[in-house]
Structure 1
Amino acid sequence: MTAEQTDSVVERAATHAALGDASRLRVVDLLTLGDLSPTEIGTTLELPSNLIAHHLNVLESAGVITRGQSEADGRRSYVRLAEGALRDLVPGRVARASRVVFICTANSARSQLAAALWATHSSIPAVSGGTHPAEHIDPGALAAARRHDLALPPGAPRSLSAVISDADFVVTVCDRAHEELRTRDEGEAGGRLHWSIPDPVRVGSEDAFDSAFAELERRITHLASALSPR
C-alpha cells in the first residue's frame, strides 16, 4: 500500500470514527441540506450546549464540518458540512414542496440568483423575497448573472410578505434574514433551511459575486435532487 493510499484509509477511518455516535449522525442529518447554529442544533436535538460543543469539535477535527461567523450577529456561528467530506456517506434527507421561496434581506442579489438558478435545476416553482427589500437588483448580481448566462426574473425586489405562503418550502440565504425570521417566528430549526452565504454586495467585487454564485449552485444542485414535487 502506497503512502497516499495509507493517508486515504486513515482519513476515512477518522470520518467513520467521528460518525460512530448516534447524536453526531443526527447532527450530520440536520446539516445535509442547510446550515445551523450550535444553539439551533441543540434545540432541535434537545441536547445541552456542552454536549453539542463536544460533538461539533469531534466532527470538525475529522473534517466533517466547518464553521463560519454570522454576518448579522458576530457572536453567532453557523455550522455546515464540509464539501465532499462524507463522499458517499451523506445521509438522505428527502422532502416535498409545491414551491420554493429563497429569502435574503434586500432581495437584491443572493435570493434573486438562487431563484433563477433553481429554475435551471428543478421543475418546482421558485420565487424570492426580502425582509427589507431594496429599490433595485444590485448591479453586481446582474453582472454575475450575465457572466454565467443566467436570466434573472424581471422586476424590482419584492417584500417577503408579498410572496410567501404557509405551504412554501423556505430557504434563507442570508444570516440576517434567517436570524430575524427565527426571532419573529420562534419556530423550530427544522421549519426551514438556511444557507450561510456571505453577502457579495458588501464586498462588491466580481470574485465575491462569483463565489456566492458557485456556492448557491452547489447547494441548489444538491437540494434539487432531494426535493420532490408535492
Structure 2
Amino acid sequence: MNIESASSFEARVARHAALADPARLRIVDLLTLGDFSPTELQAELGMSSNLLAHHLRTLEDAGLATRHRSEGDKRRSYLRLAAGALDGLVPGAVQSAERVLFVCTRNSARSQLAAALWRHASSIPSISAGTHPAEHIAPGAVEAARRHGLDLPSQAPRSLDEVAGAADFVVTVCDSAHEELAGLGGIHWSIPDPLRLGTDEAFDTTFEDIARRVTDLAPRVTAA
C-alpha cells in the first residue's frame, strides 16, 4: 500500500483550508477561466487592495496560484492557476458560445496554436486573429505543431476587425493584446511569447501550456 507522505498531506490540507474562504474560492473560480491582474481581481470582487493582497498571498502559499510579470505593461503582474492546483476538483460549465475567438498581437503563433488545438478538443468552431497581424505564421509555431502531430492552417494572419463577430467568446492569449482590448470581455490566458526566445523549447513550452488550457476549458464551454 502506498502511504501519502506527511508533506503531501499537509499541502493538501493547506489547499482545502485556502479554498474554505468564500473570497478565495471565488478567486480560484475566476483563475480556472484565465489569468487576472490584481487590479482586475479587485474590480471583479469589489474588495480593498490590502484584503485582496492577503487572499492572494494565502493562495500562493497554498500552491494554488502563481504570478508573473506582464510582457506588455511591466508594472503589471498576472495571477494564474498553478498546474495541478485543482486535481480531483472539477469546475462546472460556465459559458455558452457560437464560436471561440483566440486573439494575440501578431496572430502568428499563440492564437494560431490555440485555435488549432481547440478544433481537436471541441465541436464548437474556433478562429484566431491579431490586433496587429504579422505577414505570416511564425515558422517556429508551425514546426512545434508538427512535432506534436498538429498541422497549422496555411493562411496568413488576420486582423481582429476582419474576423470578430458579436457572438464570439474571446480568449486573449497575449498580455499586450489583452491590455490593448481592455473592456472587450471574454477571458485572458497570460502566455509568454515564444518568439522572444525563438527556440524549439520555447515553442514547445507554449504549445504544451495552450494545450493544457484548451483541454481544461473545452468541456466547460457549451454550444450556444
Normalised by the size of structure 1, how large is the TM-score?
Answer: 0.93
Q: Which amino acid aligns with 1:207?
A: E
2:3 and 2:150 map into 1 onto residues whose CA distance is: 44
Q: Which amino acid aligns with 2:55?
A: H
1:136 maps to 136
1:50 maps to 50
1:55 and 1:90 map into 2 onto residues whose CA distance is: 22
Structure 2 residue ranges without an equivalent (≥5): none
Question: CA offsets per residue over residues 135-183 of structure 1, 9 Å max, x none?
Answer: 111111111122122121221100001111111000000000000000x
Farther-moved stretch of structure 1 (33-42 vs 4-13): 4-13
Q: Which amino acid aligns with 2:135?
A: E
2:67 maps to 67
From the two aligned structures, give the one with the greater helix fraction. 1
Q: Which amino acid aligns with 1:159?
A: S
2:118 maps to 118
| Structure 2 CA distance for partners of 1:30 and 1:93, relative to 1, 3 Å | farther
1:204 equivalent in alignment to 2:198:
yes
1:217 and 1:172 map into 2 onto residues whose CA distance is: 15
Q: Which amino acid aligns with 2:217?
A: L
> 1:12-31 alignment to 2 at 5 Å?
12-31=12-31
Query: SS of the counterpart of 2:50?
Result: helix
2:200 and 2:12 map into 1 onto residues whose CA distance is: 36
Structure 1 residue ranges without an equivalent (≥5): none
Query: SS of the counterpart of 1:68?
Result: strand
1:80 and 1:3 map into 2 onto residues whose CA distance is: 30
Q: Which amino acid aligns with 2:72?
A: A
1:181 maps to 181
Normalised by the size of structure 2, how large is the TM-score?
Answer: 0.96
2:198 and 2:23 map into 1 onto residues whose CA distance is: 40
| Structure 2 CA distance for partners of 1:163 and 1:13, relative to 1, 3 Å | same
Query: Of residues 182, 205, 225 in structure 1, which corresponds to 2:219?
Result: 225
How many pairs were matched up? Answer: 224
